[in-house]
Structure formats: C-alpha cells, structure tokens
Structure 1
Amino acid sequence: MNKQNSQGFTNFRQNIRPRLIAALKVATFAMSLVIIMGLGFYYSVLYGAFGDIPSEDDLRNIQNAVATEVYAADGALLGKYYLENRTIVKFMEISPAVINALIATEDARFFRHEGIDTRSMFRVLVKSILLGDDSSGGGSTISQQLIKNLFPRQEHGMFTMPVNKTREAIIARRLEKIYNKNDVLTLYLNTVPFGEDVYGIDAAANRYFNKTPAKLEPEQSATLIGMLKAPTTYNPRRNPEKSLARRNVVLDQMAKYNYLSKSKAEELKKKPMGLNYNRESMSDGLAPHFREYLRAEMRNWCKTHLKPDGKNYNLYTDGLKIYTTLDSKMQSMAENSVAKNMSALQKTFYDHWKGSKPWGTNMEFVNQAKKQSERYQNLKKQGKTEAEIERIFKTPVPMKVFEWNKDKPGIAEKTMSPLDSVIYYQWFLNTGFMVMEANSGQIKAWVGSISHRYFQYDHTMATRQVGSTFKPIVYAAAIENGITPCTYFANELRTYSDYQNWTPQNSDGKYGGYYSMEGALTGSVNTVSVQIIMQTGVDKVVQTAKIAGITSPVPEMPSIALGAADISLQEMITAYSAFINKGYRVKPVYLTKITDRNGRILQAFPASGEKSRVISAETAGLMTKIMEAVVDSGTAQRIRWKYKINSAVAGKTGTTQSQTDGWFMGITPKYVAGAWVGGPNRLVRFNSISLGQGANTALPIWAEFFSQLYNSKDFKYLSYEGFTPLPDYLASQLECPPYVENLADVPLQDVVQDTEELNNNSDESVVFQPKKPVIPNGPNNQPNRIKTTPPNAQKPADDPEKNKKRNFMERMRDIFGRN
C-alpha cells in the first residue's frame, strides 16, 4: 500500500514539474512583457509622445497669473486688476495652521517622500481598485496636485488616466529636485483655486475672513483647506453646513497626525464658521474712478513695454505693482466728505421739488435718458424692435438700485419698471472732487461720483460750465495787461450791442456804486467782471486760459467772464495751481513708479509735474490775496463761520445759469482742490439761487474735507501754514476800499513807489501793482469809451512821466522774472 502511494506521488511530481516550469515561463514572459510595456509607456510619456513634459528650466520659472496691484503713496493697497484674483505670498507670511491643515489632509507623508508616495499609491491601488473603498483618497501627493494645477490634464482616450498620472509623477519628482519642501508648499498655496475666481491663500483669506494668511486661526485654516477638495461644494458662503462639516473633518485629521490635541480639535469643532466675507469688485475700495482711469493708461503702457522674453506686459496676469501719488487717508476723507454732504443735499433736493419734477413735462428728456441706458443699448444689440423694447421697459421687475443710507452710499431692493428706474436715477445730484499738491502736481484724492457702482461716469473729467470760478483767470489776465487792483468799475447794467445786445446781470439783482477788482471778485459782481474782460481783451483772457492748462474749447466771447465755457474739474485744478506756484501751473501727476512682481523697477516717474509760466509771480501773489477776501468776507465766507477753518484759504465759488452747476475752487498753501455738483442733465437743478449756488452745493464738500484734514493728527500741522506774506510796500497796493458809493470818496495816491525800495526786495514770491485807485475815463464810464491804447494803435509821443512808469514796470519784471 505504501509502495503504491509512493509511486503515485512520484508520478505526480514527474507530471506537475513540466507544467510548473511552463507556467513559470509564461509568467516570466508576461511579467517581462508588462515591465517592457510599462517601461515603454513610461519613456513614451517622459519623452513627449503624449505631450511635452516641462523641463527643469520651465519648472524653475513657474509664473502663475498674478493680479496687478495698485498702491497709494502711503503703502495702502487701493485695488487690483486681474483675470485670476491671486497675490503671491512667501512661506513666512502663511500661518503654520494652514501648513499643518494642508499636510494632515492632503499628504500626511509629505516630508517623507520625494514627490511620489509609493506606499500611498499601493494603498489606493488595493483599497480603491480591488476593494472598492473610496475612503483612501486619491493617492496624489501635494507635489502631484500642484503639477495638476500648473499643467492641466489632457485627454488621451482610454489612456487618459494612466498618461496623466504618469506625467504628474514624472514632473513631481523633477519639481522636488529643484525646490525644497517649504518652497513646494508655498508654490502650492499660491496656486490652488478657492472658488469665486479666487486663487491662492492670500486672496482666499481676504475673501472669506478679511485677513492676511499669517493671521488665520486653526479653524479658519481648516475651512479654507477643506475647500480644496471641491471649492464650490464646500464654499462657506454658499454651502455653510457642508463647509462646516468639511472643516471638522480637517480638524480631525489635524488631531490624528498630532498637529492638534484631540481636546483642542473638539473645542474648535464647536466654534461657528465665523465668516467675514469681503467680496471685491472694481467699485469696492478707495478711489474706484481713479483706478478705472489708471486701468486705461496702464493698458497703453503695457503695449509699449516688453518683458525679458520679448512679449508685452499683461496688466491682468503679470503681477505688476503700480505705485501712485494718492494718499489713502486723504482719499478716505474725500469720499466721506462727498457722502456726508451729497446725502444731505439730496434730501434737500427732494424736499425742494416735492410734488413736482425739475424737468416738468419734458418727457423727451426722459426718453433720451432711456436710450442712453445700458439696458436699452443691450436690447438693441439683441435685435429687439422698438415695440419690444418699450414693452420690456414698462414691465416691473425686481432690481437693486442706489439709495443713500443716512450719510453712506447704499443699495435698495425694489420692484419697478426699467423706465421707472431711468426716471429714478435722473433725480440724483452728482459730484466730482479732486485734491492736488500744488507745488508738485501730485494728485492726492480723486472722487468721480457719489457711487462708482451705479454712477461710473467720472465727473472730474466731465466738462461743465464753470460759472464764476473762471473769474480769477479773467482778473489775472487783466492785471497782466495793465489794469490795477484799485481800478474802480461802476456796478450798473450795460448792454453790449456788438454781442447781440447782451445785458449781463448780477445774480442778486443789485446794482449801484463802484467796485475795485478785489471788491468785485469778493462779491462775484457779474457786471464788473464783464467790464474787466472787455477792457482787457477777450482774446488775451482766452490765451491766458490756454496757457494755464485749459484744453477744452474756450469761446472768444465776453460771456466767458461769467463762466460760460465748459471746462473739466481737472483742468480747473491745473489752472488754479498757478496762483500758488508763483505764476507757474503744474501738470498733474499720479504715478511714482511701476515694478514687476519681484519689485524690479520698470519705470520711475518724476516726483513733480511739468511746470509752465502762466502769469508773473507778482500777479499770482496778488490774485491769491484777492481770493482770500472771497473767503474772509465774500461768497465763500461760510468756510470761516460754519466750518471754523481759520487757516489760510483762498478761492472762488461758481454758479451757472439757472443753478445747473455749482462749483468751488479753493487753494491753501499746500493744496489746490475743487468740487463740482450738478445733475445728470442741466434740467436737474435747484430752482432757488440760495439752495443751488456753489456756496451751498459744492463748497461744503471742500470745506468738510479740509476740516477733517486739519483736525486729523496726521495733517494738523498743515493748518498752521500760511501764504507767503506780501512786504508792506507791496501789500499797500491793495489798500483801497473794495466798494464806494461815489468815486469822489476815493483818495488818490501816488502811482509809482520808490524804485530803490523795490530793487532791495527781489523775492519772486511778492507782488507789485500800482497803489493808486484808477477811475476809468469816458462818459458814464462806458467800457467802449475808455481812453486806452488799442493793441494795434500807433504809439503816442513819448511822455516823460509815462516813460518813468514803463521803465519801472520793466525793471520790476526783470527782478521777478517772467517767461
């Protein structure tokens, strides 16, 4: 029996052996084939059979699309331009809690592999593929995930997954040969998306918690890292419950890998989400109108500047840093001043027109506004007929509209027809306000409207009638052309037959007496201003305006003395700078430098704008002194009694016909600033001069701003500065009454001062004008009969006394200089 069994076992061994050998051969062949195919597949991916593999040089020069940032002069971030809202941060600027949450959740063995975690891959292979357990994760390391974000996957049919996984593994190994672990983590956190067009941990921390990455708490870090699995699904704003649950999973992972104690993790899991959502749009943040203006300028700059690779810079992806002259504190004060005063003025405007409309029954005005609306333009582009558009415009729909929320811009949800919304917006008064450092031309504050979100038109650049703010230009031209400050003019109605029997009138309807130039400007007397421009020459005034930087067309008509020309606030700011700068106007500047993302300066800009001589230094100083009287005792005196500003201020109010535009242009020893207020159409205005005058609409914005400025600890020192004082012998040239009932009451004084005294005082900041009150000749003091020498008339015979005066003036100009 035993022999039989032994013989059977021997036969079995003899029979099975050849089979085993054959099986081993097959297995060996198959394994060899798999290895060969695997190696062939690997090398085909490596050498680009399925697409290029980034080289080490490519990986050393990884450039994410980075937002361009705009900075104020004091370093505050004003805003960004971007396609992907991303700002690059360094490793040391990221909270350790973020790093710990990322490693615990996405790659626990991050510091123990070199880009590929074979143990993790094997675990995924067994549990996910063989056992169908999805809890084991995807098996990709942080480096591989980074590669997937930097170099998007491609389709390769049935080979898509193995090709992409192999490709990512190859690049990940290559990446970790170039970068250390901290660099990889930093690159990853600067790259990954967090939903809502937010990329990178800096933008995510700002968007969801209004913080920098360095200040994120562990539970906040867990929220953001939890979003990486599915940014939309786990968005804390859109899906707070899912986001909270995902956050707690991340906290558990942090406890599992000893980044948190279990008790601490449980404590944090009980905390609410604590979301502090900070949605950014172009309309958010400081100076949106300025940033929109800058966007257009920078796009042109990019067209003419090349990167090292020979390509043009891209404003939205190259991470430029733009440094501007704006001061964030002053800009904030400017915006607060606009909001405070315009909200109050709007309430007054509603009360003023209660029960009626500024435009009355003029529906053509409303129809024109409708056709200019964005909604109408879009419907036309869609090919809608007028009948279809009319039906759409009369159908009520829910919408969000602008409204004042106390003294701040707000949003209201209303149901109204688009046509009603067009009418609704016609009621709003708007404004433009700008502040410029007078000597340098640096723009410090720029407010283009009451709300950029709803009123994107920039009113600092809009041209509107400037009213009496043009008068200082007229008076400066007059002094430059020989009319003295103590020349007296009759305050009487006159009709100018050469100009279609035009009869200019005073806004207060009062006439009589005689005004010096100072008195006429202080009281904004229209009749006198027209006499002055007629005696000076309209052409000379226009020429002075152009030299002063006014580029808008100025008609050669005497009505420009009353501000009939349409000029922008920016142009008026430039022109008024000549009064502070000893007769030089300065071109506004708003940039200091532009750098690349690494801080390398691409272009530096001059600290000061280009200067051009407009008027003599003596005329500039004289005009400043005359405009001080406007503030001390004239149409702008509420700066003193209402706003309690006792510092050096000079300026001029302006109100156009029917109160359609209100202006105030003011200068201080350091700044020139201006405000305009008006409606979207000239029909939208106050029907009362007391309410609609520039002193009541625009001046309060200016005064509120400087009141805030002078009461702030950062700028209070400016309130102690004064205008350059005039020496006594020059100040005396203004010592004549601003107004007299009769010319017989005016004492005559010597015209010419001791020339030796003048020669001993050559400081360009002082002014000189003859000090004798001059009475125009001719019957009834008619301007067309004033006995002055016409520009082209033959010179009279030499008169010793006149020569003495002329030589004196020539010597004076030599002393003070004039271009």
Structure 2
Amino acid sequence: MNTSNSLKETIPQKFNKILLTRNPWFKKATKGIWILFLCVVLGFPLYVLSVSVNLFGLFGDMPSLKAIENPKNDLSSELISADGISLGRYFRFNRSQVTYDQLSPDLVNTLLLSEDHRFYDHSGLDFRAYMRVIFGVVTFSSSSKGGGSTITQQLAKNLFSTRGEELDGPLMVGPLRILISKTKEWIISVKLEKNFTKEEIITMYLNTSDFSSNAYGIKVAAETYFDKQPSELNVQESAVLVGMLQAPSFYNPKRNPNNALTKRNEVLYKLYSHGYIKSQAQYDSLRKLPIHLDFAVQNQNEGLATYFRTVILNDLMNWCKEHGYDLWESGLKIHTTLDSRMQRYAEEAMAESMKPQQKTFDTHWKGKNPWIDEKWNEIKGFLDSRIKQTETYRNLVARYGEGNDSVKIMLKLKKPMTIFTWNGERDTLFSSMDSLNYYKRFLHAGFMSMDARTGAIKAWVGGINHKYFKYDHVRQGTRQPGSSFKPFVYGTAMETGYNPCLKLQDVSPTFKVPGGTWSPPNAEGDRGTGEWMTMRQAMAKSKNSITAQVLQRVGEVNVVNFAHRVGITSPLDAVPSLCLGVSDVSLYEIVGAYSTFVNAGIHTEPFYITRIEDKNGNVIENFVPKTQQAISEQTAYKMIYMLMGGVQEEGGTSRGLNFNLRTDNEIGGKTGTTNNASDGWYMGITRDLVSGAWVGGDERSIHYKQWDLGQGSKTARPIWEKFMIKVYADQSLEYKKGQFRRPSAKMDITFDCSAYELPDDDSGTAQEDWNPNNE
C-alpha cells in the first residue's frame, strides 16, 4: 500500500517534500513569496482603490468623472481680423487649440516614435515600459532606464496638475508623494482612454504642453519658434519641439541652442531606429542641419494692432464679466473688423512718415530743449517736475523718503538700459533722468481708418511703438483738432441753407468776449486780406477769418449740436474760439464724425467687433453698429463737395497730395493745426474709407518753434497719403478709386458757382442777405 502510494507521487512532489522536511528556510521563503504574491494581487488593487476614493482623506482629491470626461483646458482668447488672421491673444498661459487634422504627419509620428511608440497598443498604461524601468533601476543599467509614462499619463499630468498642491493629501510627503501622484495619473489615464480616441488624446496632449518662452500648446509653439502653423512643421522642426517636452527650458532652442541641437538629434535617431527616417544618408543629412528659428515671443508688444489689443481690453473684460466668461482662460474667438493687410499698411505708413519727421524735429531743436511756454521760452525745471510724475520717483520716495538726497542720487545713477530708436533697439547706459530727457523729445502719432458705409474700423495705430510708448492716441488721447474741426462749422451752415458758392470777404469778425473783444487771426498772422472767396475756397484754404464769420452767423450752440449729432462725443465749449477747434476731441470720434458725411448723413458709430465665439466655435453674440440719421443726405453731400475743395481748389491744403492718388479718384481732405503747432491733423475721405492722422509731442509744450513746420499738411498728411497709396496698390482689397456716391434725390442746389456770381459790391458789404436758394 505504501509502495503503491509512493509510486503515485511525482518526482517534483517528492522533491518539494524533501525540501520542506529537511530545509525549514525554504518553507519560510515559500510562505513569504505567497504572502508577497497575495499582497500584490490583493493589496495593490486595494491601494489603487484607496487612492481613487481618497480613503480617510489621506491621499488627496481626485478629479471628478465629469472633469475627466470634460477636461478643462485653460485657453487664451484670440483676436481675429476680418480676413481671418490672428492679431494676438489674451492669456495667462499663452495657449490655443488645434485639431488633429491640423497636426502635420511628421509631428505626430515624431511624437509617437520618440515618446510612446506602443501608444496604439496600450490602454493608457504601458506595462512593458514599467518592467524596463524597474529592471534598469535594479540592475543600475542606464540603457534600460527611461520614462515609463505614456502620452496619456503625461496628458493626465497636464490637465489635472497631479504633481501640484491642488490634489495633495496628508500622505503625500517624501517618496510617497511621487508614488501617489503616479498612481493618480494611472487612474486618470485609464479613464481618459475610455472617454477619448487615441487621436483626441494626442491632440489634447500637444495642446496642453509647455514649450517655454510663454508658449503653451503646439500651435503657439510652432508660431513662436518657427512662425509656422503645426500643419506646416517638418521632421527636424518637429524633433526640436518634441524634444522640448521633457525639459522645456533646458531644451529651449533660443536660450540653450546646444542642448536643443543635441536633443533634436537624439529624437531624429529614434525616428531612424524605428524606420521612419528611411536611410542612414537621410539621417546623417538631417542631423547636420542647424536649427533655423524664426523666433518671436507673443505678447502685447509684438505683432499687429498692439495698441488696439490693449485699448479694447477693458471693453472685452466688461463683456466677459457680464456674460460669465474668463477672457484669459475661456478660449474665446473674438472676430474684429480690422483687416490685417490694411493694419500692416497703416503701421508701415506711420513708421515711414514718423522716422524722417523725428529726424527733422531733432535737427530743428539740436542743442536746445523742445519744451517751451506760450512765449516760446524754454520751460525751466521741466524735467525735474516731470520726473516726479513717474513710478520710479514714487518708488524711490517710498524707499528713502521725500526730500532725501538718495532720491536724487538714484535718479542720476546710470545703469544698462535698452532704448527705442527709429533704427532699432539700442543698449546704452542711462539714468532715470537721462531716459526721461531722451523720451520726452519724441514726436508721437495716431492713425485710424474706417469703412464709412459699415462703421467697421479697418486699421488702428495708437502710437509709434507700443513697447516703449503705451499711451494710445486714437481713443485714449484727446487734443485740440484745430482746423480739422471747421467742417462742423461749415456743415451747420450747409444745414441752415447756405451754399458752398456763397462768397464772403477775408476779414476777421470781432466777437465780444469776457474782458473785451476777440478777432481771430489767420494762420499767416493777419486779420484778412479783404479778398472775396466762396465758402468752399475758404475752407479749402483754411481761412480762420471766414470760418469765424460763418460761426457768427449760425451760432456757437448750433455748431456744438451739429458736431454732436454727426459723431463728436467730447464736451464742446460754445464759445467764439470753437471755430478754431480749441475743444479737445479724440481721433476715434472725429473720424467717426467725418464718416457721417460720406455715409449719406447716417452716423454709424465706429465699431471693431463683429462676433464672439466660444472655444468650440459657437457664436455667443453678434455685434451690430449703432446708426442714426444725423443730417440729411443733401447736407452730407454738400460737405463732401466742400471737403473735395481742399484737393481741387487753388491754394487748398490738400493740393500737394500724390498725383497718382488723385488721378481718377475723388478725394476730400482737411488739415488741422493748433495755434502753437503742437498738434497736426489730417482727415481724408474717399468714396468708402475715412481715415485720420494726428501728430504731436508728448505734451502740448513740445512742438516746433515754427508754425509751418508743425502744420498738419507736413506732419500728419504724409501718413494718410502713404496709407492710401498702399491700400490702392493691393488689388486683393475691396477699396478702389472712384467717385463719391451721389444723393438718391436731386440736389436742391447746383455746384456751378458761376451761376451765383454777383456784381462786385463797391461798398464792400458782405453778401450776408443773399439767399443761396434763389438765383
């Protein structure tokens, strides 16, 4: 019986029986292995479950299922031009999404082969990779080490900050912190794989990754480093960006080009080893190439429409507050009226005009200071008073105390500084006083162009350089418009029934004012030549004397009302000097007001946003400009005819416009210059565009010594002229040469001024009683 039983035992069973009876240590080892096995099989799942439910609050919170199914991706909101070009973004983290179809095949394959070549074979966790990592750690083998994280795990870390403080728990200290964080990434990864396709995960990962240089997401990274879209990236460019994923700053090709080159070549080798790069020759050729960057960090000082982006920020913030959006993180698409081509032409026109203008100004004041009082004497202590208005001065006073000598010493302490010049940035040694003295000598400018028919603003240039001069001279700044205000005086007369052909004598009238009388002189300094001229000729030549006569006839209050109806929103003083444009207005409102003339008397409030979409492309709101019939179509066209006089009448202030610009084209224009030439303006109208330019010093006391050098025809008109030449040269734009639209109804007057010639009045009596509607 015993023999029979012993025969039935297998050799392994006998071997185990001998070991267990003769070797107690083996029995203990076997028991330990079983215990370890049971701990792994049962304990690990319990551990993972504990982390997932945050047992007793020890492990820290986990993202909710809803959050994982609909992960929040902080997105920058983007301004988009009317022709579909990105003008810039508002962001905390500069990130903008792309779809999978917008990724180049080279980019996708570089990512997969370099970071996770079994991506399509796992469900978020790559156990073969984990075994490789464990083996490498145990054997101290560098060839077997490496990241075990999958792309899905990296996405989990990007989306939910698993290494940050938001998901912290009491046990997350020391080595346990890494283990628990990794565990959370495993759990999230599995859930992400259940809720999204592989292509969606790839796209989300690239959209949420940091690429240094304030570039978050592959779209911004491609634009920042290569000035390309992700769909345009080639193999070597893709290798640079994918290489940055492990350590964005360390492998930044701008800051650390050698590190980036080495890493790029490592990525290229992986592509070669996996067969994506087909031959040794192709690999050798690619690895020898330098990294060609087209680098530009995106911020509010770079790109097109920098002033526009900054000025409309408050409007957008108010809209977001009202509608429950975060401008910085909601990924809004803000479609604007600006045309990127016209915006570029406007910025070019300003630079091309202001660079030589600044040179002229510097030469004019060489060896002297340009800040002068009303008697043309230098303002003493000007810089000392202005430095006290700076943040630097306030900070020094807060640190050392008012009146402390250290404040003066620090203000005069020279330090390395990068300054603006019209030939590019320059490094120098400047003190705060040096800097103030340098920048106060610059002339500034503003320019705006709008479509008179729609009210859409097409170009907005608020200054000469947003990085160094933040103040916007389109809407923020208000200055005296000078003679560019005169059309509102004549417009009131046209509405009252006056005819552009009415002749008045060039003699300055006298007004009773508090303390005495006032007679406005002409720009030449005289009170008139006595010459008879039509109202059209008078406005074309910008005669103060005759404009004052018109104001006297129609009344100051009526002029104020007329100006406000057609679009001026700033307060206007109903005083005799109103005819010379002494009340401050903005370029934004005066361009809008002139547009009323071109738009058949309908005032359309200038606007710049057409619609706002959410991050998924759903339209949240459409914007329609506000319109009202401000003046009659007849009055509007009379003013177009009056403004064309500046180009057509002998002695008109727009006669000097480029000949090709005037050929086969109807143009109206009006210059404006303040008494001391501190402000130069030019307003130009065409059949569908109304544009305006302003040029002047940072303060009204900074200007030319000679009035003729600072007049609008020399300072501001060149900007408008260069802009329009560029616009007409671009055949892709809808704005062409042509005639102004004629009124739909027959005019109540004829513009043949010869029909209204009256015999010379030997008595010199002004024709004030002449009825323009009776021949």
> Shared fold by TM > 0.5?
yes
Structure 2 Cα separation of the partners of residues 482 and 47 of structure 1: 83
Matched to 1:458, the amino acid is D
Task: Tell me the secondary structure at the aligned position of residue 267 of structure 2.
Answer: helix
Cα distance change on mapping 1:727 and 1:34 into 2, 3 Å: closer
Structure 1 residue 559, shift from structure 2 partner: 0.5
Q: Who is 1:371 aligned against? A: 388
CA distance 1:167–1:745, change in 2 (3 Å): same
Q: Secondary structure at the match of 2:425?
A: strand
- Aligned counterpart in structure 2 of residue 629 of structure 1, from 636, 645, 652: 645
Check whether the contact 1:514–1:741 (CA below 8 A) recurs between aligned residues.
no
Equivalents in 2 of 1:610, 1:30: separation in Å? Answer: 77
Residue in structure 2 matched with residue 446 of structure 1 by the alignment: 460
Matches of 1:521 and 1:439, distance apart in 2: 25
Match of 2:599 in 1: 581
* Correspondent of 1:467 among 458, 482, 485: 482
Query: Which residue identity does 2:485 align to in structure 1?
Result: F
- The match for 2:207 among 190, 198, 206 is 190
Q: Give per-residue Cα distances to partners, 1:117-150, cap 9 Å, x unaligned.
A: 1121112112114436375202111111221222
Matched, 1:591 2:600: no
Displacement of 1:54 in angstroms is 3.2
Asked if 1:417 is matched to 2:431, the reply is: yes
Moved more, 53-62 or 83-92: 53-62
1:227 to 213, 233, 244: 244
Structure 1 residues 739 and 529: alpha-carbon distance in aligned structure 2, compared to 1, 3 A threshold: farther
Match of 1:670 among 669, 672, 688: 688
Identity of aligned residues (%): 38
Q: Spell out, residue by residue over 1:768-817, the C-alpha distance to the aligned partner (whole angstroms, 9 max, x if none).
A: xxxxx97136xxxxxxxxxx9xxxxxxxxxxxxx9xx99x99xxxxxxxx
Q: Report 1:331-730 matches (<5 A).
A: 331-359=343-371, 361-380=378-397, 385-386=402-403, 387-405=405-423, 410-461=424-475, 462-499=477-514, 500-508=516-524, 509=526, 510-606=528-624, 609-633=625-649, 634-641=652-659, 644=662, 646-715=664-733, 718-724=736-742, 730=748
Q: Deviations over 1:175-197 (max 9, x none)?
A: 21222222221111111111122
- Quote the Cα distance in structure 1 between the aligned partners of 2:723 and 2:47: 71
- Which residue of 2 is the match for residue 124 of structure 1? 133
Partner residue of 2:52 out of 37, 46, 54: 46
1:101 to 110, 113, 121: 110
After superposition, the Cα gap between the structure-2 partners of 1:697 and 1:23, relative to the gap in structure 1 and judged at 3 Å, is closer
- Structure 2 residue 333 is matched with structure 1 residue 321: yes
Q: Distance in 1 between matches of 2:107 and 2:734?
A: 43
Q: Is the 8 A contact 1:515 1:740 kept in 2?
A: no
| Structure 1 residues 109 and 384, CA gap change in structure 2 (3 angstroms) | farther
Q: Which residue of 1 aligns with 2:12?
A: none
Alignment partners' CA distance in 1, 2:755 and 2:672: 24
Cα drift, residue 15 of structure 1: 4.7
Report the CA distance between 1:443 and its aligned residue. 0.7
- Distance between the aligned counterparts of 2:180 and 2:747, measured in 1? 92
CA contact (8 A) 1:67 1:80 kept: yes
Q: Does 1:24 align with 2:30?
A: yes
CA contact 2:400–2:406 (8 Å) conserved in 1: no
Deviation at 1:491, TM superposition (A): 1.8
Give the whole-Å Cα distance in 2 for the aligned partners of 1:653 and 1:737.
Answer: 29
Alignment length (residue pairs) = 737
Question: 1:775 aligns to what?
Answer: 767
Partners in 2 of 1:218 and 1:14 — Cα distance?
62
* Deviations, residues 365-389 of structure 1 (Å, cap 9, x unaligned): 3233322334334445556544333
CA distance in 2, matches of 1:543, 1:564: 16
Quick one: distance in 1 between partners of 2:588 and 2:229?
37
Shift of 1:323: 0.3
Query: CA separation of 1:133/1:463 partners in 2, compared to 1, >3 Å: closer, same or farther?
Result: same
CA distance in 2: counterparts of 1:10 and 1:629, whole angstroms: 116
Is the partner of 2:63 in helix, strand or coil? Answer: coil
Aligned partners of 2:634 and 2:743 also within 8 Å: no
Distance 1:26 1:535 in 2: 111
The structure-2 alpha-carbon separation of the partners of 1:186 and 1:640, relative to structure 1 and needing over 3 Å to count, comes to: closer
* Structure 2 SS opposite 1:651: strand
Normalising by structure 1, report the TM-score. Answer: 0.85
Q: Report the Cα distance in structure 1 between the residues aligned to 2:711 and 2:766, rounded to whole angstroms.
A: 32
Structure 2 portions without partners, runs of 5+: 1-14, 373-377
Aligned pairs for 1:730-769 (under 5 A) are 730=748, 732-736=750-754, 742-744=760-762
2-structure distance, mates of 1:248, 1:121: 25
> What is the 5 A alignment of 1:289-308?
289-305=307-323
2:43 aligns with 37
**Quick check: 2:400–2:407 contact (8 Å CA) kept in 1?**
no
CA distances 1:657-688 after superposition (whole Å, capped 9, x unpaired): 11111111121111111111110111211122
- With over 3 angstroms needed to count, the CA separation of the structure-2 counterparts of 1:60 and 1:726, relative to structure 1, is closer
What secondary structure sits across from 2:381 in the alignment?
Answer: helix
Question: CA distance change for structure 1 residues 383 and 301 in 2, over 3 Å: closer, same or farther?
Answer: farther
* Aligned amino acid, residue 102 of structure 2: E
- Paired AA for residue 478 in structure 1: A
TM-score (norm 2): 0.89
CA distance in 2, matches of 1:230, 1:65: 21
Deviates more, 1:209-218 or 1:716-725: 716-725
1:38 Cα deviation after fit: 2.5
Cα distance in 2 between the residues matched to 1:738 and 1:384:
74
| Residues 117/72 of structure 1: CA separation in 2 closer, same or farther (3 Å cut) | same
Q: Is the 8 A contact 2:633 2:743 kept in 1?
A: no
Amino acid aligned to 2:277: L
Task: Please tell me the residue identity of whatever aligns with 2:180.
Answer: V
Structure 1: distance between partners of 2:440 and 2:248: 42
Match of 1:260 in 2: 277
Given that 1:650 and 1:666 are in contact with CA atoms closer than 8 Å, whether structure 2 keeps it comes out as yes
Change (3 A) 1:82 1:21: same
For the 8 Å contact 1:512–1:741, the answer to whether it is kept is no
User: Is contact 1:515–1:528 with CA below 8 Å preserved after alignment?
Assistant: no
- Find the aligned partners of 2:466 and 2:288 in 1 and give their Cα distance: 41
Is the 2:455–2:607 Cα contact (8 Å) retained in structure 1? yes
Q: d(CA) in 2 for partners of 1:10 and 1:245? A: 56
Q: For 2:65 and 2:754, how far apart are their aligned partners in 1? A: 83
Counterpart residue number, 1:813: none
- The one-letter code matched in structure 2 to 1:317 is E
Q: Which amino acid aligns with 2:330?
A: D
Distance in 1 (CA, whole Å) between partners of 2:744 and 2:754 is 16
CA 1:551–1:36 in structure 2 vs 1: closer, same or farther (change >3 Å)?
same
With 636-645 and 565-574 compared, the bigger mean Cα shift is at: 636-645
Q: Say which SS state the counterpart of residue 357 (structure 2) adopts.
A: helix
2-structure distance, mates of 1:448, 1:463: 12
After superposition, the Cα gap between the structure-2 partners of 1:24 and 1:417, relative to the gap in structure 1 and judged at 3 Å, is closer
Q: Is the 8 A contact 2:455 2:606 kept in 1?
A: yes
Answer whether contact 1:128 1:134 (CA < 8 A) is retained: no
Q: What secondary structure sits across from 2:421 in the alignment?
A: strand
Q: Residue 4 of structure 1 corresponds to which residue in structure 2?
A: none
Question: SS state of the match for residue 671, structure 2?
Answer: strand
Cα offsets for 1:535-557 (capped at 9, x unmatched) = 11111111112222222121111
Alignment of 1:56-75 (within 5 A): 56-75=65-84
Alignment of 1:173-188 (within 5 A): 173-188=190-205
TM-aligned CA distance change 1:23 to 1:395, over 3 Å: closer
Distance 1:471-1:18 versus aligned 2 partners, 3 A rule: closer
- Provide the secondary structure at the position in 2 that maps to 1:511: coil
